[in-house]
Structure 1
């Protein structure tokens, strides 16, 4: 899969050392695989504690990395040592679960604020050419009154509009964006900021107690014979972008000249309701049932990306449609016996 994204624009990464914080996660591991396919030397820094499932093998991190360091982005000595050896940095490490950040703002602050500051301090004192900071569409919240609507009435978010975060997680990402700009603007290190919309794709597995990552939650429910939960009736809108496309845009942001100092939406520009996502999954599971549940705290109504800037500055557009991506995910579930984590089936039995 990674080879399809190694286009000629990435040739300058051949032989370059790229530190990927959070490189052991779903997105980070796909970034690492694509970097390796282009001849770069990926170095991973990750705690490997974000999932209750053995994802290090699942995500094949060791296969594609030149070096894997078990550590925390708050460890100054470790981060300083790694950035001193890096030509580029992709800072993807974060406490990235909306529900968990809401219940544990102290942990969110430690990982997303303290950790980001530690990385920035090290980068400023290093020979790193460019840092790409991974942000989130959650910074838009529910948007503003003058957000440009789509034909269906969903908000379309542009990079210039005011940010209105409605969750602790989103607030940490707003802070991170501002801090990257303040510390690296005018320094010897360039930066780009990428705002991910709703990431999905195998081998994505949800976390206990989370309401994020709709495709695996809904697909695992249907796969194990449980009803698919539609929080808030499933009327929220999401811009679903496949993890391979997300990774490709992120790697391009490392080297695209016009992306320096820019904030870029990474999405498809297509609004899809959660109910529609469930319907696409249900088509693979005859007899699949839905159940409506209350809207979780901090869950935005959502919208979709204005993708013109990513297209213009990166020459990027998503290659995998939602239907194709869901087909791939279901196929992966059906062919991977260990894909369903123990906690998921245990919770189903208890219910």
Structure 2
């Protein structure tokens, strides 16, 4: 049954259902082009790879290029490095489907967006990286990946001053992840309480923040990237379900926003939402509040109900100060004011109309361009919605 859009303080500018062949993941926008990774066969019957869209006219987006993944490869996470380079993960599909897959990340030249060109590949062990991050200002990249001597995914920090020749600076995990020999290879679909880096890790000042799925949230002294040290750590699984996804500071304030990713097979009435963590005492981070949209409205709709990711920028100043844009699967995109960290308050939302032939909306990820337009990605077939926040 089709349902119309639900909107408060958002305006739809454009829509391209072809983004990531309908089912998308991470989106990056640069110089009038959007790059959208595809979820492929992960709770969607789509292609593996990514698509490129000309969004210079946001009211008339159009696909201009695509890249199909080789057999056995999931490549749904991508990041722009500088102006002309795109990194895309190469993660083995689960089980027999991923046997023999080359894992690591692709390097593409995107100086001509309509004719993307593969210019390199960086090999990594295990099943390959998941949601990685790039800090262009510091010329660093952070990859969640397996490593000898560690159990499950840990932080690979890489120097990308020469983006065609990334170099490992350090490999770091929680003390509990230390292992002998090769450790335990990663499960591409870990259980909710598994301790494994999700990401992306990020740096503010001399501190790194990272979410470890069922393993909690870590505050790390990264003043020496080659000798990082754990400063503080907290976890809430159990009793909560787990799957800590993203940990991101609120501007320059001593608080973190943390999301727990909703799971594909079961929705939880009292778990997997957004948290605020007080880090005034870094050695003792404490959760002080939670937030979720109206459960009575969305919980019983099809698909996942729960948090996923945020726009990875909560600025210290400007019109979006203390504003969190969070994707919430069947509850669409929400805008949350966290100026009072003890009482987060919703100030806007956008749930796209359910297109013909699609059961429900599953808003998966969110990106932004230099003009402040937002790019909302659906993983169940609706593609990409280009939005303006009017609040």
Give the number of the structure whose residues are more often helix, by fraction.
1
Give the number of the structure whose residues are more often strand, by fraction.
2
TM-score (norm 2): 0.29
